[in-house]
């Protein structure tokens, strides 16, 4: 068995270094690649480090078994596919090597000189550096085109984000493959241009410096600062707690001093940090559930300073042109587990954000006020943060829904954004067709964001909510250019409703769960056209059974029913692009969904076992299906919105949504059938 992705086959990957992060990288490779028979080799010069790394990996996998994340069989497979050795020769034949040794440029260069003698010329070589530029690490590389930095974040096996940092000589095809590979194995890769520290560490370490300076000046204690920072910046833990967890004092002290010359003069290592590095002591931080007293005036003062530092730091990175704004905002939330800066600034107003940065710069004159924020703040214009990304490939606009934290779930803002991107592409004369897909491998769209359903307060509000979502999808359906939906993973609720608005649908092959209309589990009905389009695609009785029981279907069944046209083994988006071009030039034909009233609409539907689900909601759903089928499509869609509003007037709708938010999607709601 092998793992093949976009023309590259992996049978062996290597991780060099069994210290702080190497075993976690190896664990992730074992999790995603061992099912394909790919071996992961971990090399370290110290036997003790290898034993410690092995124990760490095996302990984490065992915890996964205890929590139900892994089965005993998966545990054996993962552990059995990782080799631990001091012999560098063991990496011979590896197609992908990730070095995770100490942050020392000379050491890294020596390692890669040795590695290049052992692997083939087309093997990809990457350094998991946190700061060093790839040009520095690979200065002596014989084939620099295959080299890059891949920066993992703590903890590497669970943190979704990796920064992919190519150097000028890195072949674009290598960068593209790495970005695609990491997405395919469940990570969220972000391309960043080369600069010391890349895009995210100057934020993490810069905010630590901002807190350390306040502690050094006696403004607040480290406990108080961490307590304030969690609310001021939306952090899970404050900067000092994060340093204790990651053991980051030494590397941060080095990084901050280099930033002084690499970025700007505000960056430096505070004396309070130098003292901790020398002593080896931990920071004094709040204990779990400890209540730390903070006077209101102090909280306000520190909040303003930390927010000013945060907004200034992120805008400096944007000014430097290192990263796409939408990539940056998402990675701040995912990698650093904090409130995403640009959406944060949009909420308070960019004029307010500029005021806070200028206030911080007045206290610390070496802190620059970034030009991009001056421009936005002067007009109080919002940042353009996108959840739907567009990339044109050979005349086809590829639109990717990217909300990995919620498995690409839709709220009204995302509905609107999808419609806007489709209409922009439809009006673009250079575009022949459109592809819509989702980021990652788990979900095309996991459904509607239940949070916005919970805010529905009345029948009228429910009707308007449904009609607004329908309007967005109607705009997608009305595009003149063909749209191919590349269903990369599960399509639940609004995801399947979006897919049904497209000209053609294809999916990754072999998905045990592809599509589902699970709304009745929440005490609602489909509200974005599902009750009308699904019967027109798969037939009234089959569609009704799927919607009334919330039964998910596989990609095989979806193809048998005609919901999708084909399944694709590897390059799903590439195939979708081919089909979009074929639909545009007439060489490919797609089944057309009837838009008029359906013929032979039955007077009633066969009985189905709806189990615990609401009988009141089921009756409204049946009405929407049968009465809508007798109408032209758009009239049926309008009927659906009225039925959705009617459901929102039931007790069971509130019971179902509250149960989901309180107990999660697997808990069965106790409906009253009223």
Contacts of residue 498, defined as CB under 8 A and 6 or more positions apart, other chains included, come to 410, 418, 436, 445, 473, 476, 485, 491, 528
| Ranges in the chain, pLDDT < 50 | none
Would you state the pLDDT for residue 354?
A: 98
How do beta strands 396-401 and 388-393 pair?
antiparallel
Would you state the pLDDT for residue 665?
A: 86
CA distances from 494 to 363, 422, 491 (A): 49, 17, 8
With b meaning 16 or more CB within 10 Å and e meaning fewer, what string describes 613-628? bbebbbebbbebbbbb
Domains of the chain: 3-191 (3.40.50.720), 201-379 (1.10.1040.50), 388-663 (3.90.226.10)
Asked if residue 388 lies in contact with residue 421, where contact means CB atoms within 8 angstroms, the answer is: yes
- Taking alpha carbons only, the member of 451, 444, 454, 441 closest to residue 408 is 444
Q: In what order do the strands lie in the sheet with 161-166?
A: 82-85, 39-43, 12-16, 96-99, 124-127, 147-152, 161-166, 188-191
Asked if residue 21 lies in contact with residue 64, where contact means CB atoms within 8 angstroms, the answer is: no
Average pLDDT, the chain: 96
Q: Which residue do the tokens 């500029």 mark?
A: 354
Q: Which residue do the tokens 């788990």 mark?
A: 442
Would you state the pLDDT for residue 450?
A: 80
| DSSP reduced 3-state for 223 | helix
DSSP string, 319-349: HTT-S-HHHHHHHHHHHS-S--HHHHHHHH-
Sort residue 523 into left (φ over 0), alpha (ψ -120 to 50) or beta.
Answer: left
Which two tokens mark 208?
A: 């630590």
DSSP annotation of 482 reads -
CA distances from 670 to 456, 463, 608, 621 (A): 20, 24, 19, 19
Task: Tell me the C-alpha distance between 444 and 422, whole Å.
Answer: 17
Q: Which residues pair with 151 in a beta bridge?
A: 163
| DSSP reduced 3-state for 231 | helix
Which two tokens mark 95?
A: 């197609």
Task: Tell me the C-alpha distance between 245 and 240, whole Å.
Answer: 9
Q: Which residues pair with 567 in a beta bridge?
A: 507
Q: Which residues pair with 633 in a beta bridge?
A: none
Would you state the pLDDT for residue 454?
A: 82
Would you state the pLDDT for residue 166?
A: 98
DSSP string, 61-108: HHHHHHHTSS-HHHHHHHHHTEEEES-GGGGTT-SEEEE---S-HHHH
Would you state the pLDDT for residue 655?
A: 95
Note the helical H segments in 364-458: 371-379, 412-427, 450-454
Would you state the pLDDT for residue 455?
A: 87
Task: Tell me the C-alpha distance between 433 and 427, whole Å.
Answer: 11
| DSSP reduced 3-state for 13 | strand
Asked if residue 230 has a cis previous peptide bond (ω within 30° of 0), the answer is: no
| DSSP reduced 3-state for 148 | strand
Task: Tell me the C-alpha distance between 530 and 260, whole Å.
Answer: 57
Which two tokens mark 52?
A: 């410690």
For residue 398, give the H/E element and its range: strand 396-401
DSSP annotation of 509 reads T
CA distances from 410 to 139, 332, 448, 461 (A): 45, 21, 5, 18
Task: Tell me the C-alpha distance between 575 and 508, whole Å.
Answer: 11
| DSSP reduced 3-state for 483 | strand
Would you state the pLDDT for residue 452?
A: 76
Other beta carbons within 10 Å of 104: 12
DSSP annotation of 406 reads G
Contacts of residue 559, defined as CB under 8 A and 6 or more positions apart, other chains included, come to 507, 565, 566, 567
Other beta carbons within 10 Å of 420: 14
Asked if residue 15 lies in contact with residue 26, where contact means CB atoms within 8 angstroms, the answer is: yes
Q: Which residue do the tokens 């052992």 mark?
A: 118
Task: Tell me the C-alpha distance between 203 and 316, whole Å.
Answer: 10
Other beta carbons within 10 Å of 52: 15
Would you state the pLDDT for residue 451?
A: 77
Q: Which residues pair with 55 in a beta bridge?
A: none
Q: Is the dihedral of CA 129, 131, 135, 137 positive or negative?
A: negative
Task: Tell me the C-alpha distance between 508 and 519, whole Å.
Answer: 24
DSSP annotation of 410 reads B
Would you state the pLDDT for residue 51?
A: 97
| DSSP reduced 3-state for 635 | helix
Would you state the pLDDT for residue 355?
A: 98
| DSSP reduced 3-state for 285 | coil
Task: Tell me the C-alpha distance between 517 and 547, whole Å.
Answer: 5
Would you state the pLDDT for residue 418?
A: 98
With b meaning 16 or more CB within 10 Å and e meaning fewer, what string describes 140-179? ebeebbbbbbbbbbbebbebbbbbbbbbeebbeebbebbb
């Amino acid at each position: 068995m092998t793992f093949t992705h976009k023309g590259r086959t992996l049978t062996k990957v290597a991780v060099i270094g069994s210290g702080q992060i190497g075993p976690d990288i190896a664990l992730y490779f074992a999790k995603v690649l061992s099912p394909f028979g790919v071996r992961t080799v971990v090399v370290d010069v110290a036997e003790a480090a290898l034993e410690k790394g092995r124990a760490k990996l095996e302990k984490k996998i065992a915890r996964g078994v205890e929590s139900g994340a892994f089965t005993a069989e998966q545990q054996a497979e993962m552990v059995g596919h990782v080799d631990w050795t001091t012999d560098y020769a063991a990496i011979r034949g590896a197609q992908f090597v990730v070095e995770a040794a100490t942050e020392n440029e000379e050491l890294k260069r020596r390692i890669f000189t040795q590695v290049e003698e052992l692997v083939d010329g087309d093997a990809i070589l990457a350094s998991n550096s946190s700061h060093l530029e790839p040009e520095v690490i690979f200065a002596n590389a014989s084939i620099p085109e295959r080299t890059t930095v891949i920066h993992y974040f703590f903890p590497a096996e669970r943190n979704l984000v990796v920064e992919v940092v190519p150097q000028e000589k890195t072949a674009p095809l290598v960068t593209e493959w790495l970005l695609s590979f990491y997405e395919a194995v469940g990570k969220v890769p972000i391309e960043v241009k080369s600069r010391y520290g890349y895009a995210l560490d100057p934020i993490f370490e810069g905010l630590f410096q901002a807190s350390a300076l306040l502690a050094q000046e006696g403004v607040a204690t480290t406990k108080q600062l961490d307590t304030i920072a969690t609310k001021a910046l939306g952090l899970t833990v404050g900067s000092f707690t994060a340093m204790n967890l990651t053991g980051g004092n030494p590397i941060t002290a080095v990084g901050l001093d280099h930033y002084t010359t690499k970025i700007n003069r505000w960056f430096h290592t505070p004396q309070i940090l130098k003292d901790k590095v020398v002593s080896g002591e931990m920071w004094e931080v709040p204990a779990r559930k400890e209540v730390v007293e903070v006077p209101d005036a102090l909280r306000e003062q520190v909040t303003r300073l930390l927010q000013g530092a945060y907004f200034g730091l992120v805008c400096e990175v944007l000014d430097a042109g290192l990263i796409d704004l939408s990539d940056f905002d998402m990675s701040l939330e995912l990698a650093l587990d904090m409130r995403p800066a640009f959406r944060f600034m949009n909420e308070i107003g960019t004029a307010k954000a500029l005021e806070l940065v200028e206030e911080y710069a007045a206290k610390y004159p070496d802190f620059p006020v970034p030009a991009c924020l001056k421009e936005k703040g002067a007009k109080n214009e919002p940042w353009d943060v996108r959840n739907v990304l567009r990339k044109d490939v050979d005349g086809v606009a590829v639109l990717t829904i990217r909300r990995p934290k919620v498995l690409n779930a839709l709220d009204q803002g995302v509905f609107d954004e999808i419609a806007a991107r489709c209409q922009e592409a439809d009006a673009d004369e250079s575009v022949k067709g459109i592809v819509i897909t989702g980021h990652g491998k788990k979900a095309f769209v996991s459904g509607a964001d239940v949070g916005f359903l919970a805010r529905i307060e009345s029948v009228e509000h429910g009707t308007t909510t449904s009609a607004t979502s329908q309007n967005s999808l109607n705009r997608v359906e009305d595009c003149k250019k063909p749209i191919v939906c590349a269903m990369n993973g599960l399509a639940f609720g609004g995801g399947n409703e979006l897919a049904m608005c497209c000209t053609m649908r294809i999916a990754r092959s072999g998905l045990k769960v592809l599509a589902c209309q699970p709304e009745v589990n929440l005490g609602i009905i489909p509200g974005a056209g599902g009750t009308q389009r699904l019967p027109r695609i798969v037939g009234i009785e089959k569609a009704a059974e799927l919607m009334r029981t919330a039964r998910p279907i596989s990609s095989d069944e979806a193809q048998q029913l005609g919901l999708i046209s084909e399944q694709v083994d590897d390059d799903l988006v590439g195939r979708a692009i081919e089909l979009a071009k074929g639909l545009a030039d007439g060489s490919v034909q797609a089944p057309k969904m009837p838009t008029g009233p359906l013929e032979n609409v039955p007077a009633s539907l066969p009985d189905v076992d709806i189990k615990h689900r609401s009988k009141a909601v089921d009756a409204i759903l049946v009405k929407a299906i049968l009465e809508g089928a007798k109408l032209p499509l758009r009239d049926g869609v309008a009927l659906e919105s009225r039925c959705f509003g009617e459901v929102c007037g039931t007790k069971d709708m509130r019971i179902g949504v509250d149960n989901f938010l309180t107990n999660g999607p697997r808990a069965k709601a106790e409906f009253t059938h009223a």
